[in-house]
Amino acid sequence: PLTDDALLALPKAELHLHIEGTLEPGLAFELAAHNGVTLPYASVEELAARYDFDDLQSFLDLYYATMAVLLTRADFAELTRRYLRRAHAQGVRHAELFFDPQAHTARGVAFDDVVDGIGDALDEAEREFGMTGSLILCFLRDQPVASAEEALTAGLKRTDRIVGVGLDSAEVGYPPSLFEGVYARARAAGLHAVAHAGEEGPPEYVREALDLLHAERIDHGIRSIEDPELVARLAQERIPLTVCPLSNVRLQATPDLRDHPLLRLDAAGVRVTVNSDDPAYFGGYAGQNFTAVRDALGLTEDQARRFARTSIEASFASTERKAALL
């Protein structure tokens, strides 16, 4: 019997987590009051009631609106502190945090305040409970490439914290090919490369992320299941997918968790991991994504252990840290 406790106890790495997507309604209102920002919702309950999405864009509209309350280094530290405590309680021992600098610098927040605030909380978590983590700078694919280039230039000064680059926001109509040059510069500087692809976009975007961006992991990638040749390639090349089951259901990328391709991808030999994406918005952190998959798809203990192990192996943690966690 695969109990909740057994799933929470598995040591795991969180590889697909947008730190801005951990902003719970309660903290949003606390920060709004503290910073003198007015949210267009009367109460925590009214905001929480908006967490009912039709697709990726309907979620992104709320996600970008709500992050207006995040202004200072201390705000980013508090956001991250609360996330790391919850994640640790669900077995997460290493977390690679996506952040969206363009969404903050466009509002007048300094790039370094974002990185330093998140970094303060990472340092604290390492001291207090031995958890490790790092940052992945995500480019907003629905913004101009020149803006991504500016974000990368700022990021290259902060490789003390930033270990890689990613690509997120509205996918359809914004193919990975647009960012080939930005990724080339990031990789030349020694950064790792990942990219969201095949969440709402077609399998072709997954191929582009591999061929043009040289992505080492694919975030989501679930639409790869529509293309058997691509599935075979992902397995052959050992490209991990960072799958987010509750996100896919909430954003209607998959009609029902019982139809989710996670186990079909696993059965085809693809290295899959289970992650939480934007847990404040999608109904659960890492542990709840595992329990939801167990309930809907009948996860075996063997599968659960393998997915958790793959998350550690597929992480960008140091060899020593991985060895300690495996």
By CB under 5 A, what part of segment 254-293 binds Zn ion? 277
By CB under 6 A, what part of segment 132-171 binds ligand ES4? 168-169
| Residue 21 near ligand ES4 by CB under 6 A | yes
Count of residues that interact with ligand ES4, criterion CB under 6 A = 11
Distance in Å, CB of 128 to Zn ion, minimum: 27
**Contact partner, 141, from ligand ES4, Zn ion, none, Cβ < 5-8 Å per class:** none
Helix (H, G, I), strand (E, B) or coil at 113: helix
Exactly one of 24, 75, 113, 277 binds ligand ES4 (CB under 6 A); that residue is 277
Rounded Cα distance, 144 and 149, in Å: 9
| Residue 278 near ligand ES4 by CB under 6 A | yes
Beta-sheet pairing, 92-99 with 12-18: parallel
By CB under 6 A, what part of segment 47-66 binds ligand ES4? 56, 63
User: 17 vs 186, which CB is nearer to ligand ES4?
Assistant: 17
Burial 61-98 (b: 16+ CB within 10 A, else e): ebbbebbbbbbbbebbbbbbbbbbebbbebbbbbbbbb
Q: Which residues are catalytic?
A: 199
User: 41 vs 96, which CB is nearer to Zn ion?
Assistant: 96
> How is residue 258 written in tokens?
């019982």
Residue showing the smallest CB distance to ligand ES4 in the complex: 168
Q: Can you spell out the DSSP letters for 194-248?
A: EEEESSSS-HHHHHHHHHTS--SEEEE-GGGGG-HHHHHHHHHTT--EEE-HHHH
User: 10 vs 162, which CB is nearer to ligand ES4?
Assistant: 162
Contacts of 210 (CB under 8 A, 6+ apart): 218, 233, 237, 239
Distance in Å, CB of 280 to ligand ES4, minimum: 11
| Residue 96 near ligand ES4 by CB under 6 A | no
| Residue 100 near Zn ion by CB under 5 A | no
Exactly one of 96, 113, 199, 266 binds ligand ES4 (CB under 6 A); that residue is 199
**Contact partner, 164, from Zn ion, ligand ES4, none, Cβ < 5-8 Å per class:** none
**Contact partner, 271, from Zn ion, ligand ES4, none, Cβ < 5-8 Å per class:** none
Burial degree of 155 (CB within 10 A; 0-12, 13-18, 19+): buried
Q: Tell me 253's DSSP state.
A: S
Rounded Cα distance, 11 and 2, in Å: 15
Contacts of 238 (CB under 8 A, 6+ apart): 271
User: 162 vs 195, which CB is nearer to ligand ES4?
Assistant: 195
User: 41 vs 63, which CB is nearer to ligand ES4?
Assistant: 63
| List of residues contacting ligand ES4 (CB under 6 A) | 18, 21, 56, 63, 168-169, 196, 199, 247, 277-278
Instruction: List contacts with Zn ion (CB under 5 A).
Output: 277
